[in-house]
Amino acid sequence: MKILIVGGGAREHALAWKLARDNPSAELIAAPGNAGIAALARCVPTSASDLPALLSLARAEQVDLTVVGPEAPLAAGIVDLFRGAGLTIFGPTRAAATIESSKSFAKSIMQTAAVPTARAELHRRADSAKRAARNFGAPVVIKASGLAAGKGVVVCETLDEADHAINLMLRDHAFGAAGAEVLVEEFMQGEELSIFALTDGTNVLPMIPAQDHKRLLNGDRGPNTGGMGAYAPVSLVGPEFVDDVVDRIFTPTLSALRACGCAFTGLLYAGLMLTASGIRVVEFNCRFGDPETEALLPLLESNLLDPMLAIARGESIAGAALQWSDRHAVTTVVAAEGYPEHPKKGATITLPSADDVLLFHAGTARSGDGALTVSGGRVLAVTAVADTLADAQRESVAFAERVQFDGKLYRTDIGWRELLRGARAARN
């Protein structure tokens, strides 16, 4: 069996690692992949956003399954293109991917489906958006509706900040078309967690909850990033919580998507917040999350390839189940100097031997002389799996410490909320 993996980050490395375990005889191809994925897959220098070139590649290689990591090719319609050519591909169509690529569409689906989320208003004009912000009152959240590389959400402490964000999006067009519509949204407070579900459009196979750490610095301080680490499982919620999320969030959302002619197949990611008045959806993504995937897949004991293949073939996953290890995973991201604003590329990386961790590469490349070098903002994702969260954190951080390259950045406290919960539980 030949599998094409589209993308070149640590999420795609973790997917390649898991699919290779599930089917050791499968031949993996990655476009474009990275220096770590190259140990598992044949990497071809085709960009994840070059849809015609990806289609030519999949046809020429006669791949049996294509798995798409990032949102951009999904939002651009890679699934429609491949299916139209008779190829088997895992992921949502362009119309279904709108659940991530348009926050205004996601909001309207949630309203139709009566899914709990923050109140929001859609505005195209700065003056009406500013009035709406005043009606909500500070703090208030201003969001560019379209895909803005994780930068389109501004949590505003004051109305001045809200005015500034609105001007940036609607007057200065800082996010181009992605910011031509903004959502003015009620501010919510609470702890966030991510739940992923594989879905054939109707049936849902949820994964265990994970928690991402978006801020650059320990203690969740500093600027927002693509994610500096993740851990799973999350004891904040019990097993009944996931059933509740399926019943109250995934099932009605999928049903509303089917009803509007954009049935969603693939992996639906629900970003949730546990507020004082209950669970709320912060956002949906149309793909595996990064870095949560790097923490989750090492805990998944059952096969991932089978349900992904069934979904890609348009088959039902009713009755399928996932089995999880009862251990703990902590993923620490090692990033480049200057990340997230101006990551510095080119530094030479020296890696210690990775016997006790899973090392997923993100922004790594080989230079002409074969040296491993930094080629992106997030460089490595180091996952340790252990019997306790504290041990997993210690092992993951110990490895990150031993990685050598100039200017490396990493957090040493991934999972800190969970450790605090554990400490409190032990005291009571």
Positions that interact with ligand AMP (CB under 6 A)? 118, 141, 153, 155, 185-188, 192, 271, 282-283
- Rounded Cα distance between 3 and 30, Å, is 8
Contact 159, 140 (CB under 8 A): yes
Cα maximum dimension of the chain: 62
Number of residues that bind ligand GLY (CB under 6 A): 6
155 binds, among ligand GLY, ligand AMP, none (CB under 5 to 8 A by kind): ligand AMP
Q: How far is the CB of 270 from ligand GLY (least distance, A)?
A: 11
192 binds, among ligand AMP, ligand GLY, none (CB under 5 to 8 A by kind): ligand AMP
187 binds, among ligand GLY, ligand AMP, none (CB under 5 to 8 A by kind): ligand AMP
State which residue has the least CB distance to ligand GLY.
289
Q: How far is the CB of 281 from ligand AMP (least distance, A)?
A: 9
> Helix axis angle, 251-259 relative to 103-112, nearest 10°?
100
Between 100 and 181, name the residue whose CB sits nearer to ligand GLY: 100
Should residue 395 be labelled a site residue for ligand GLY when binding is judged by CB under 6 A?
A: no
Should residue 199 be labelled a site residue for ligand GLY when binding is judged by CB under 6 A?
A: no
Pick the closest to residue 77 from 86, 60, 68 (CA basis).
68
SS3 content of the chain, % helix, strand, coil (to 5): 35, 25, 40
Q: How many helices (H) and strands (E) does the chain have?
A: 14, 22
282 binds, among ligand GLY, ligand AMP, none (CB under 5 to 8 A by kind): ligand AMP
Q: How far is the CB of 119 from ligand AMP (least distance, A)?
A: 9
Place of tokens 């059952």: 302
118 binds, among ligand AMP, ligand GLY, none (CB under 5 to 8 A by kind): ligand AMP
- Site map (CB under 6 A) of ligand GLY, residues 276-315, x = contact: ---------x---xx-x-----------------------
292 binds, among ligand AMP, ligand GLY, none (CB under 5 to 8 A by kind): ligand GLY
Q: How far is the CB of 171 from ligand GLY (least distance, A)?
A: 27
- Rounded Cα distance between 196 and 102, Å, is 19
Q: 25: how many CB neighbours lie within 10 A of its CB?
A: 6
Residue 261's Cβ-count burial label (10 Å; 0-12, 13-18, 19+) is exposed
Between 155 and 174, name the residue whose CB sits nearer to ligand AMP: 155
Contact 333, 380 (CB under 8 A): yes
Pick the closest to residue 96 from 283, 320, 256 (CA basis).
256
- Rounded Cα distance between 13 and 361, Å, is 6
Q: Summarize as ranges the residues that interact with ligand GLY (CB under 6 A).
A: 212, 227, 285, 289-290, 292
